[in-house]
Structure 1
């Protein structure tokens, strides 16, 4: 197993190279030091360059969300540098604070499901500040300089929004229509389930993108058209499930072709009556702040292990001990134990090579413009390498960080610098790996039955609200039941994926659950889609009671790992796809129970 993990750690991914992002990242990191050099204070320019790391949080997400994310990043890094400067003389307080910074950033990024480097650059900013000259009075100045560098990165990161304000949302909706056409082509074939699963993921992704891109005070015609297109795709998919897929016959190829042209036809239409509801931040964070939330547990683990690493680093006479904490933070950025193991290997090898390269550069005593050019090149190479392999990216990240940290120290003993940094990195990586193994071992696997049961119960509550006589469309769209179901579905997906990366991992049992997980996620999607139909039928008390029995039976069977017996599912007029999905979920759980009994008996 470990040989396979080591081999995968050095696997080269064949992804397109992000040249535009690499060039912009280089500009963001190089312009502040260049301005500092021209104004006669190169050290101030290097400090502002830390704010340039804000651009590394740029991803292809709606610009409305990107603006907030980059603002959070630049404020977070500025505050981290200020706190690092103030608390540098107090070792224990610094250790606790860096743990809190790591935990909070991990929690925020996890709760909002934001892609990116999460806590790592906040930790870097704080730890680098603790390694600077001790002078708490410089905290406002250092904070302001980093803030200026971050503002430049924010401006460059948002420039695309002026030319194509809804570019990410458009790409997401276009993908929906591509996958919808492929699904319609696959109906009646062996590939139907895979195509259906891919389509559901695309529909959910487009929904999330459109929700993230919503600005209440500025709703453009383009945004309205994208909402209309996405709603149309939902309706087509529901119609296929409801009326066509039952026969399991192949659909005419012309239907898939017509879907591919539907988007262009609808782009000229608008629907000014379209509304969209977004959960408040209080609701989102409140849902993640739970003892069984994998986001909360991961953030807590991250903060605790990071604090321990910092205490160890400060307790011994390490030269510039913050490299231990930084290496630990980097290693724990892996989403699973396996990926953490990969990160430990990649970080160690890549960092050692990066230290050697930086040591060679520093041994030549570069000055001014040479250092600026090196920082630009290394930052750009980091962005190009990160999509290929983290070990290569770690090489450039380390070289860059060393140049920023050591360029103004006039350090002449580069051999000592290299050996000290290598020691720090190995210790930090080891702490991160051991901490993850001790605290996170089997955490997701143990949580999975509870999370599955909890998700089913929240789906049952939302179904009752949708088809009961006591309901209104506004109440349904803003309901706590829907928000709870969404949070549980997100948590379920994360827990299930994380369980595969544990050591040891019962892959056979997890694979057996895959169909059940899919039908639970599919059911959540069907329920959310059903709320868009105002003419939903009202179910009798008997039918609602039977649904309660069905869901509770499934939840108890999963939670307590009992034998499962299929129950009768009432039909919902015009929404028979819900009934079909629940029946398929029961079948999947019945198979899981049979396989579990076989495994236990053997």
Structure 2
């Protein structure tokens, strides 16, 4: 119990890019808020906030993919707002409105998890739409209010796309830098193992395997980011070569290499720092394993095959196909959606029964605690209560400033938005300290209420929403989480078998080519590398991608199922064996398909 409590409240290092969504959202909110302030119509802030808050999304995506994703987020926000406002104009029954808000919240959770839209996930969509369900509305005003949301969404889109004019490869650079930092972390673990060879086998966790898993996930994410970035310019090619170098750390190091693990860690860390900066991208000299691949082509620069040619496997589901696959019948996402629908409905009804004037706060509180499994949901419930209580204290302390007038309220709202994004990456409860007074300020824009009533309603709704949400989390089980492990194990087994076949074919081909080395080098000097070599490298790269993705998904499935109660016994030994053998095979693939990089 104490371990889970400490984990729930422990502060993490802030995410390296927290300032991007923070400043983007503040800028996107400032434009409509200041405009409405000048017009004396701050009562319309809810509708403009719906579009402006979309600026929190998609900051990890390349700009071409970001443009599409933000457009879908704005569309989803406007559709959700339209449903809420239409329902509010057609019925005044709070019981029915709670049901409508809960169903929309469940749709948000399921679709955001299926699309993997990233932070802040379903929370912003649910907060805005749930509030709109309980705003007095006339049907004739709905088009105007939706138009305000669309206009603010357009501002958010422009704000999020603007940095691309200055730093067009910014998201790709961040993704590659994270992979290089993970590679540096793996080399540091190896350095410690070299300096203290007796560490392993003493009952401690396999820290190297953990570091390899972290690197495999970072590399997989970075390749996915590069795949989303179109173009063949030099910057993207350099990033691909740097990422290939980071990935090469997955290969088991050979003895007698000129660089020690400490040297390799510093090289990767220095490269990561340079990539994060705004200057020219660095070049890393090839390792011995990489240099082996340069034999026969290093003397002819025009025949060098850059790592940029790597592309995703053709059978890798993307876009709508991937989303539909995650929502198929039997998907483990569906029970989570059912939890949200049931938990939010009962929480809203309980709030109504308690006589609270803001039942949508209970709906949002219940929706906010549902995470990937029961254990994480319990931790989030504790974080929600702690953050909201402290946030109410902050709101009470800010009341003298709030009562000065609308201009100060607008400035406070913008400052709290930045503070929330700065703190929430350290821990959810810390970010909630700023989110809570910001939500109360949004209520104040629509009309002033007694501070005591606001604070009491928020506290009661938080406790009710969290308590009812946890009960529903226990009642609505997710036994499909174990089924996902079996599917992930099957994918790892299939990907590893295909990889071993690919390695066998490549090694046999290499032996055949070795018999005619002189003829091959002579031909390559005249004609360049043959198409068969390029096809073989591409097939090996695809095998590596499939295996790496399968290993990442297996680890994710195991972590989700481990925190879910009332499960069948998890096949822990099979999972450990699959991961161990899978990473060994991945290391062979990485060494065999080491990138062809120019010698500098």
Instruction: Pick the TM interval, shorter chain.
Output: 0.7 to 0.9
Aligned residue in 2 for 1:338: 375
1:517–1:115 CA distance, 2 compared to 1 (3 A): farther
Q: In 2, are the aligned partners of 1:34 and 1:45 still within 8 Å (CA)?
A: no
Structure 1 range deviating more: 141-150 or 85-94:
85-94
What are the superposed Cα offsets for residues 379-409 of structure 1, whole Å, 9 maximum, x if unpaired? 1221122133322322321211111123232
1:164–1:194 CA distance, 2 compared to 1 (3 A): farther
Asked if 1:384 corresponds to 2:422, the answer is: yes
Aligned residues between the structures = 520
Asked if 1:253 corresponds to 2:314, the answer is: no
Aligned residue in 2 for 1:570: none
Asked if 1:450 corresponds to 2:512, the answer is: no
Q: Which among 156, 160, 176 is matched to residue 159 of structure 2? A: 156
Aligned residue in 1 for 2:517: none
Normalization by structure 2: what TM-score?
A: 0.73
Asked if 1:219 corresponds to 2:242, the answer is: no
Q: In 2, are the aligned partners of 1:465 and 1:476 still within 8 Å (CA)?
A: no
Aligned residue in 1 for 2:514: none
Q: In 2, are the aligned partners of 1:34 and 1:372 still within 8 Å (CA)?
A: yes
Aligned residue in 2 for 1:209: 222
Equivalent positions of 1:492-571 (< 5 A) are: 492-502=554-564, 515-516=576-577, 518-519=579-580, 521-522=582-583, 525=586
Cα distance in structure 1, aligned partners of 2:477 and 2:55:
31
1:46–1:30 CA distance, 2 compared to 1 (3 A): farther
Q: In 1, are the aligned partners of 2:213 and 2:552 still within 8 Å (CA)?
A: no
Structure 1 range deviating more: 99-108 or 397-406:
99-108
Q: In 2, are the aligned partners of 1:324 and 1:428 still within 8 Å (CA)?
A: yes
Q: In 1, are the aligned partners of 2:241 and 2:307 still within 8 Å (CA)?
A: no
Q: In 1, are the aligned partners of 2:244 and 2:307 still within 8 Å (CA)?
A: no
Cα distance in structure 1, aligned partners of 2:397 and 2:261:
63
Aligned residue in 2 for 1:276: 311
How much does 1:85 deviate?
0.3
Q: Which among 118, 123, 130 is matched to residue 121 of structure 2? A: 118
Aligned residue in 2 for 1:323: 361
1:256–1:293 CA distance, 2 compared to 1 (3 A): farther
1:473–1:104 CA distance, 2 compared to 1 (3 A): farther
Q: Describe the SS at the equivalent of 1:420.
A: helix
1:26–1:418 CA distance, 2 compared to 1 (3 A): same
Q: Which among 264, 283, 294 is matched to residue 265 of structure 1? A: 283
Q: Describe the SS at the equivalent of 2:446.
A: coil
Cα distance in structure 1, aligned partners of 2:537 and 2:27:
47
Q: Describe the SS at the equivalent of 1:159.
A: helix
Aligned residue in 1 for 2:62: 62
Cα distance in structure 2, aligned partners of 1:179 and 1:496:
21
Q: Describe the SS at the equivalent of 2:372.
A: coil
Aligned residue in 1 for 2:511: none
Q: Describe the SS at the equivalent of 1:265.
A: coil
Q: In 2, are the aligned partners of 1:309 and 1:428 still within 8 Å (CA)?
A: yes
What stretches of structure 1 of length at least 5 have no aligned partner? 535-602
Q: In 1, are the aligned partners of 2:350 and 2:464 still within 8 Å (CA)?
A: no
Cα distance in structure 2, aligned partners of 1:182 and 1:420:
47
How much does 1:457 deviate?
4.5
Q: Which among 387, 397, 400 is matched to residue 438 of structure 2? A: 400
What are the superposed Cα offsets for residues 65-112 of structure 1, whole Å, 9 maximum, x if unpaired? 433333333222222222110012445664454344334433343334
Cα distance in structure 1, aligned partners of 2:418 and 2:104:
27
Cα distance in structure 2, aligned partners of 1:206 and 1:170:
13
Aligned residue in 2 for 1:351: 388
1:34–1:171 CA distance, 2 compared to 1 (3 A): closer
Q: Describe the SS at the equivalent of 2:383.
A: helix
Asked if 1:421 corresponds to 2:458, the answer is: yes
How much does 1:422 deviate?
1.9
Normalization by structure 1: what TM-score?
A: 0.72
1:96–1:460 CA distance, 2 compared to 1 (3 A): farther
Q: In 2, are the aligned partners of 1:441 and 1:502 still within 8 Å (CA)?
A: yes
Asked if 1:438 corresponds to 2:441, the answer is: no
Q: In 1, are the aligned partners of 2:58 and 2:117 still within 8 Å (CA)?
A: no
Q: In 2, are the aligned partners of 1:83 and 1:139 still within 8 Å (CA)?
A: no
Cα distance in structure 2, aligned partners of 1:474 and 1:297:
42
1:118–1:420 CA distance, 2 compared to 1 (3 A): same
User: Larger relative contact order (C-alpha < 8 A, sep ≥ 6)?
Assistant: 2
Cα distance in structure 2, aligned partners of 1:258 and 1:500:
35
How much does 1:316 deviate?
7.3
Q: In 2, are the aligned partners of 1:81 and 1:126 still within 8 Å (CA)?
A: yes
Aligned residue in 1 for 2:412: 374
Q: Describe the SS at the equivalent of 1:287.
A: helix
C-alpha root-mean-square deviation of aligned residues, in Å?
Answer: 4.2
Aligned residue in 2 for 1:74: 74
What are the superposed Cα offsets for residues 316-351 of structure 1, whole Å, 9 maximum, x if unpaired? 75412111101111122x333232222222222322
Aligned residue in 1 for 2:325: 287
Structure 1 range deviating more: 451-460 or 378-387:
451-460
Q: Describe the SS at the equivalent of 2:85.
A: helix
Cα distance in structure 2, aligned partners of 1:459 and 1:493:
15
Asked if 1:169 corresponds to 2:172, the answer is: yes
Aligned residue in 2 for 1:48: 48
1:468–1:141 CA distance, 2 compared to 1 (3 A): farther
1:506–1:194 CA distance, 2 compared to 1 (3 A): farther
How much does 1:460 deviate?
5.7
How much does 1:475 deviate?
10
Cα distance in structure 2, aligned partners of 1:201 and 1:223:
23
Cα distance in structure 2, aligned partners of 1:54 and 1:253:
46
